[in-house]
Amino acid sequence: MDGDDQLEMELSVEEIFMNMIRHNHSALAKQIEVTVEKKEREIALSLSDHEEVPFDITKAEGVDFEEYIKKVKSGGLGIHLVKKLMDEVKFEHRLGVSTVTIIKHI
């Protein structure tokens, strides 16, 4: 993994982490668990959080850039960046826990 890949992974983690903090109001959401798995050709990093109402970032609406640039907005770019920078983004919600997994091919 080169330097830019590492920065892209760090950036994606920050965006998902901040998104979980910003949108999750569950009383059980007291900690976010991070796991990293290195395989031969990819690095998979997962963030898990208690979430009563699952928010699947893989299904989040895309950014309307025409409108965006016209109005000079700045919100909603984080998830867009994660999808652009990572090779795969997966979401799973099981037993009240949401897990976002980002995968970077190496």
Partner 1 sequence: MLTIEQVSENELKFIGRFDASQHDKAADELLHQKGTVTIDMEGLVYISSMGLSVLVNTYKRLNETGHTVKLKNVNSHVRDVFKYTRLDQIFELI
- What is the contact surface with partner 1 in residues (CB under 8 A)? 3-4, 7-8, 10-11, 14-15, 18, 65, 68-69, 72-75, 77-78, 80-81, 84-85
Q: Determine if residue 80 is left, alpha or beta; phi over 0 gives left, psi from -120 to 50 gives alpha, anything else beta.
A: alpha
Q: Name the residue nearer to partner 1 (CB basis): 40 or 66.
A: 66
Smallest distance from the beta carbon of 19 to partner 1, in angstroms?
A: 9
CB of 28 to partner 1, least distance (A): 23
Other beta carbons less than 10 A from residue 16's beta carbon:
25
